[in-house]
Amino acid sequence: MQIKELKNYFFSILEGIYEPAELDSIFYILTSYLYGLKRIDVSLQPEFEISLHEMERWNSILIDLKNEKPIQYITGEAWFYGLRLEVNQATLIPRPETEELVEWIIESQTRNIESQMCTILDVGTGSGCIPISLKANLPKAKVYAVDVSDLALATARKNAIENHVVVDFLQADILDVGILEYFKDSFMADTLFDVIVSNPPYVRHLEKVEIKKNVLDYEPHLALFVEDNDALLFYRVIAKLALQLLKPGGCLFFEINQYLGPETIALLRNLGFHTIELRKDFAGNDRMIRCSIQ
């Protein structure tokens, strides 16, 4: 089969499941992933031959796509802040909104790092997208990252190596009542941070009706959902920890549930944080908070 025929076949199988523009994007992601062919290459080589053996692979991919498996889990990779990252079903797929959070942190630390090394802690690192991109763009920074999942940490460590950055990773349950003592006994002993950042679980179970099948069926629920009656659990725990681990003047950054901006601000204010700033993402949703301590 020629690649121009494959494209027509691809669209006919998935029509009605995906929007045409999304199908177009997915098709070219796959031609790049499988053959190294960019969009322009496919246009210039419409008679590029797909073997019967390769068609078996395409048909397997089509089955996954019909079941709405995310393309990132099919290819095993995602791009975040200009970096290629391995992803799998132990890690969330990095979102563009989180890139905006990273950009905010980089902007906030650029001046500091010109004169001295800054220290950064990412809580709930997943694929490692946040600490790896921060280290890549703030090379003088000392960056640490924590996650409860050994599988996620294995992926994050691999991503750090493949992107040629050094990040210190630690397996820990942030909800453990002895977490502060555990940190003090670990390699982070006596370390205070200029920045603590987290994109913790924040989707309430009542919001599952808004979650698309490709997320609900494939991405790790451990990293997504919180109980309806304590939606700010991770924010409260991490903020209290930050009071102990941030340097004077240090900043805490969160990605947040778009529906809980005022509640998150009130939580941080009641804990004693100040200069609390709420930012919207590119879609106009309340998505990021920065605050600091005296």
Residues 26 and 115 in one domain: no
Task: Give the span between the Cα atoms of 188 and 121, in whole angstroms.
Answer: 10
Q: How confident is the model at residue 114 (pLDDT cuts 50, 70, 90)?
A: low
Count CA atoms closer than 13 A to 192's CA, side-chain side: 9
Q: Is residue 79 part of a domain?
A: no
Q: Is residue 95 part of a domain?
A: yes
Given a cut of 90, whether residue 117 has pLDDT beyond it is no
pLDDT mean over 157-181: 94
* Average model confidence (pLDDT) across the chain: 93
Domain count, the chain: 2
* Spacing of C-alpha 167 from chain mean position: 16
Q: Is residue 25 part of a domain?
A: yes
- The CATH number covering residue 231 comes to 3.40.50.150
Count CA atoms closer than 13 A to 178's CA, side-chain side: 4
Residues 173 and 227 in one domain: yes
Task: Give the span between the Cα atoms of 180 and 240, in whole angstroms.
Answer: 10
pLDDT mean over 192-219: 91
Q: Is residue 83 part of a domain?
A: no
Q: Cα-flanking dihedrals φ and ψ of residue 138, to 5°?
A: -125, 70
Distance from the first to the final alpha carbon of the chain: 66
User: Cβ distance 174 to 234 under 8 Å?
Assistant: yes
Task: Give the span between the Cα atoms of 158 and 165, in whole angstroms.
Answer: 10
Residues 124 and 15 in one domain: no
Residues 104 and 203 in one domain: yes
Residues 165 and 267 in one domain: yes
Residues 42 and 131 in one domain: no
User: Cβ distance 89 to 223 under 8 Å?
Assistant: no
Residues 29 and 97 in one domain: no
Tokens of 208: 């599952």
Q: Is residue 106 part of a domain?
A: yes
Residues 260 and 165 in one domain: yes
Residues 109 and 204 in one domain: yes
Q: State whether residue 273 is helix, strand or coil.
A: coil
Q: Is residue 76 part of a domain?
A: no
Residues 44 and 117 in one domain: no
Is pTM beyond 0.85? Reply is yes
Provide the pLDDT for residue 142. 94
Task: For residue range 5-16, list pLDDT tens digits in order.
Answer: 999 999 999 999
Residue range of the domain that includes 94? 89-292
Residues 12 and 63 in one domain: yes
Task: Give the span between the Cα atoms of 285 and 28, in whole angstroms.
Answer: 30
Q: Is residue 47 part of a domain?
A: yes
Residues 30 and 163 in one domain: no
Q: Is residue 13 part of a domain?
A: yes
pLDDT mean over 62-72: 96
